[in-house]
Structure 1
Amino acid sequence: MKAAVLEGIDQLVVKEVPDYKVGLGEVLVRVKTCAVCGSDLRIMHSGNPRVKYPQIVGHEIAGEVVEVGDGVERLGVGDRVAVGADVPCGKCYWCQNGMGTNCAINYAVGYQFPGGFAEYILLNELTVNQQVVNLIPDNLSFDEASLAEPLACAINGLEMSQLGVGDTLCIIGAGPIGCMMIELGRHMGATNIIVIQRSQRRLDMAKKYSADHYFLSDDPDIDAKVKGVTKGEGPDVIMITCASPEAQEQSLLLARHRARINFFGGLASTARKLNISSNLIHYKELTILGSHGSLPRHHKKAIKIIDRGMVHTAQYITHRFPLDQIHEAFHAAESREGLKVVVNP
């Protein structure tokens, strides 16, 4: 089969690799769509301790089951499925108590387990048993369903941030996940949604998702403008959905007292350290938290949300490429010319 294999830093090669052989409890899926995530770009350029070369990356996946191993009962040949990324080990304290994103092993598709930038993906017994792979309704396209994975991460983030009915939600970073949080936040009860973005082009693209206010992050009057649309208080919840130390620092200045601030966007290992006054946290009684990845239950919810039209994932896809053009796909994602880039092997 053909696959895009990461052989080292900035060494992504499309080539023929041996076909998978399906074993006990495993499921073989013909990949129809694998979307490009920002973490795929970071893995390619900077590596990741969980990714050992050579490896097939890619974790936002949808496809069709073509073979199942002995012992598999929940899935069958012909099933249309979407695949989550995070795979609980099922044995540690965190996984057994429903908090698998804190697992020390932190298994994930496209990291320790081969990913979806390939014609086929073999889902091992653990991935199948932990219900990381889920059926998708017939009315959803594979492209739409592949975005259940990033949407699941957005659900986890807003859930952990305790977004509630009547809250003001501020999203710093208007990329695909930031825009998903506009739609999702509205359904979760946010009555005032503010979006802050560095580039005017991305800010304009985000306007189709109908937040209440849109501001550029480098506006010298940003603090006054945010206070002006929140009755002088600031937002209740701030989600930093970009990989920016500046945005994380800015969030503490914008937040209202007792706000919840989620450092959702992971920083590159080479990013500078934050320069913040801890007195802001102390006197405002702020809650600073982080969230990453998702649990299998979030992935199931994401599929339902997409199916109900609550988050319109079809609108996010602006570029499509075949597997042979994966370098062009990665370039399109890095250029931020659109929102979501998908590869159709």
Structure 2
Amino acid sequence: MNLKFRAKDYTSDDSFESAEYEYFGNETEGWEIKRNGTPYLHLGPGYIPLKTISCGVCSTDIDRRFLPFPLPQIIGHEVLAEGLGENQGKQFVVEINDTYEARGDQNSDQFCKEGIPTHSPERRVLGIDRLPGGFGPYILAPVHAAISLEGVSPKAAVLMEPFAAALQAILASPPKPGDHVAVLGPRRLGSLILAALASYRKTNNSDFRITAITRHDHLVALSKSMGADEVVDLRKTDISQLKSQFDIVYDTTSTTSGFESALQIAKREVHLKTTNGQVMAGIAHLTELVVDELSILPYTESNVLFHWKKENRTNQNVFVFGGVSESVKENLKKQFTVFEGSVSEAENILNSEKFSNHLPRFDLVVVSNPEELSLAIRPNPNHENSLVRPRGAILVDSSTGNLWSEEANLVAKFFIDGKEIHSSRCGDFHMAISLLRDNPDITKALETNLISHRFPSDQLELAYTTAKDPSSVKVVVDFT
């Protein structure tokens, strides 16, 4: 098959430029992608061509220039598409991770063997990392990432990717019976987290309260329609009055001030869902923390056993930075294989024979200050590998928290008080579709309330600008 078309690439100066693309190939032999007549990307077997119907604008699209992936690129990853060729007439939603598993490739790496294929360094990401996205008229989707749309309306389907991501936050940080949880910034993703919380509560017959926190009139009304039990308007209530009131705070603000507010009002946990690529509260690489779905926990005897609930594994290999107290090191050595040293020594260990047949990451990393914490997330500017395994934990020895820099005082106190930061990224589309089928009232709320603007594809720039405006909620670009 040969597809030629023009699309608008997103560039590093936050603008769009027109480019000519050509996709040539097929599912069994692979594809060649050309951009303006020059080879752009070679894809092996396992991709099917789809024609874009609609694509939502996400906060990640708005902050795309801050992410460590090459530009220009056709961005957009919240895709509803229709099939071509033998798939003509079928509609699909598309999971964004391009992995061995998604392509049906029998080859695999250690990440696939560990059950975390979406964290393989080999992966590409639709509309984010290399693979052309949904703001063009055609995409090439990994065959198992294209999920046939049955039982959910097209209006709700264009929201499937962000709803699945919202649901992932709830599964990673599930409310306990009697909890009072808050969604800070209930706009695009925040509104979907409200809907996911309401769906989760109903499906599981759970008992917890949901509060939305905002400062915009239209989001007050939206939050109630999306499942919030109550709404706090920050124009009427100062954030200081909410200190330590919420067991879990799901932060979807993508702002430094929002993250700092979340740290103040959380009683037990902040779940970080969106970031802006910048240093926040004295901690660098929090965007990458979310990408890797890492957690930051205070060092305790129970937290050394941390792993995601759905993972059947135990921690074995632990790296400890030099600033960590001797008592912590000695306690760890009683349970684990412990490695000590600097960040360069940590990388050398992961590249050594000791890890030749293992996932090249530590199960836990223990740090004593913000600098070590940031290095644990991204130790080397020349690559995107963390020291700690995806969905693993960085433990903070807070015994020296009073020595942290002034800009990190808030987060130091947060850990001293025994509180936790968790994060999550993409979600399971099949589970999201099932939840929406089981909760038609929530599906109806998504269809009715969440999409605030729709634009034809020739008005992509206007759609993008509108999505930046706080008065918008979800902006969708339509191709048909």
Letter paired with 1:39: T
- Contact 1:145 1:306 (C-alpha < 8 Å) held by counterparts: no
Does 2:264 align with 1:264? no
- Contact 1:169 1:185 (C-alpha < 8 Å) held by counterparts: no
- Alpha-carbon offset, residue 304 of structure 1: 2.4
Given the superposition, is the C-alpha separation of residues 247 and 336 from structure 1 closer, same or farther in structure 2, using an over 3 Å criterion?
A: closer
Alignment of 1:114-129 (within 5 A): 114-123=132-141, 127-128=142-143
Q: Which SS does the other structure have where 1:154 is aligned?
A: helix
Q: 2: CA distance between counterparts of 1:38 and 1:48?
A: 12
Q: 2: CA distance between counterparts of 1:277 and 1:48?
A: 24
Q: 2: CA distance between counterparts of 1:139 and 1:218?
A: 37
- Contact 2:281 2:411 (C-alpha < 8 Å) held by counterparts: no
Given the superposition, is the C-alpha separation of residues 103 and 27 from structure 1 closer, same or farther in structure 2, using an over 3 Å criterion?
A: same
- Alpha-carbon offset, residue 171 of structure 1: 0.6
Please say which structure displays the higher CA radius of gyration. Answer: 2
Alignment of 1:295-310 (within 5 A): 298-308=428-438, 309=440, 310=442
- Contact 1:197 1:216 (C-alpha < 8 Å) held by counterparts: yes
The equivalent of 1:324 in structure 2 is 458
Q: Pick from 187, 203, 206: which aligns with 2:220?
A: 203
Does 2:105 align with 1:93? no
The equivalent of 1:49 in structure 2 is 68
Does 2:414 align with 1:280? yes
Given the superposition, is the C-alpha separation of residues 272 and 221 from structure 1 closer, same or farther in structure 2, using an over 3 Å criterion?
A: closer
- Alpha-carbon offset, residue 18 of structure 1: 2.6
Q: 2: CA distance between counterparts of 1:37 and 1:148?
A: 12
Instruction: Report % sequence identity.
Output: 23
TM-score where L is the length of structure 1? 0.82
Q: Pick from 8, 12, 18: which aligns with 2:16?
A: 12
Q: 1: CA distance between counterparts of 2:25 and 2:123?
A: 25
The equivalent of 1:314 in structure 2 is 447
Given the superposition, is the C-alpha separation of residues 167 and 97 from structure 1 closer, same or farther in structure 2, using an over 3 Å criterion?
A: farther
Q: Pick from 39, 60, 66: which aligns with 2:84?
A: 66
Does 2:31 align with 1:27? no
The equivalent of 2:59 in structure 1 is 38
- Contact 1:239 1:261 (C-alpha < 8 Å) held by counterparts: yes
Alignment of 1:220-231 (within 5 A): 221-224=238-241, 226=242
The equivalent of 2:352 in structure 1 is none
The equivalent of 1:155 in structure 2 is 167
- Alpha-carbon offset, residue 330 of structure 1: 0.4
- Contact 1:34 1:60 (C-alpha < 8 Å) held by counterparts: yes
- Alpha-carbon offset, residue 32 of structure 1: 0.4
Alignment of 1:177-216 (within 5 A): 177-189=189-201, 191-216=208-233
Q: 1: CA distance between counterparts of 2:26 and 2:456?
A: 25
Stretches of structure 1 that go unaligned for 5 or more consecutive residues are 69-75, 228-232
Q: 2: CA distance between counterparts of 1:334 and 1:240?
A: 18
- Contact 2:466 2:475 (C-alpha < 8 Å) held by counterparts: yes
Given the superposition, is the C-alpha separation of residues 113 and 188 from structure 1 closer, same or farther in structure 2, using an over 3 Å criterion?
A: same
Letter paired with 2:435: I
Letter paired with 1:264: K
Q: Which SS does the other structure have where 1:158 is aligned?
A: helix
- Alpha-carbon offset, residue 223 of structure 1: 4.2
Identify which range, 86-95 or 186-195, moves more after superposition: 86-95
Alignment of 1:132-171 (within 5 A): 132-137=145-150, 140-141=153-154, 143-171=155-183
- Contact 1:150 1:177 (C-alpha < 8 Å) held by counterparts: yes
**How big is each residue's C-alpha offset from its partner over 1:212-235, in whole Å with a ceiling of 9 and x where there is no partner?**
2212346564343x47xxxxx722
Letter paired with 1:314: E
- Alpha-carbon offset, residue 272 of structure 1: 6.7
Q: Which has the higher contact order (CA 8 A, sep 6+)?
A: 1
Given the superposition, is the C-alpha separation of residues 219 and 250 from structure 1 closer, same or farther in structure 2, using an over 3 Å criterion?
A: farther
Q: 2: CA distance between counterparts of 1:322 and 1:207?
A: 30
Q: 2: CA distance between counterparts of 1:58 and 1:318?
A: 18
Does 2:253 align with 1:253? no
Given the superposition, is the C-alpha separation of residues 252 and 47 from structure 1 closer, same or farther in structure 2, using an over 3 Å criterion?
A: closer
Q: 2: CA distance between counterparts of 1:292 and 1:41?
A: 17
Structure 1 vs Structure 2 CA RMSD: 2.5
Q: 1: CA distance between counterparts of 2:52 and 2:473?
A: 21
TM-score where L is the length of structure 2? 0.61
Stretches of structure 2 that go unaligned for 5 or more consecutive residues are 29-45, 102-107, 202-206, 284-407
Given the superposition, is the C-alpha separation of residues 167 and 94 from structure 1 closer, same or farther in structure 2, using an over 3 Å criterion?
A: farther
The equivalent of 1:338 in structure 2 is 472
**How big is each residue's C-alpha offset from its partner over 1:192-223, in whole Å with a ceiling of 9 and x where there is no partner?**
11111243443343232241221234656434
Aligned length, in residue pairs: 317
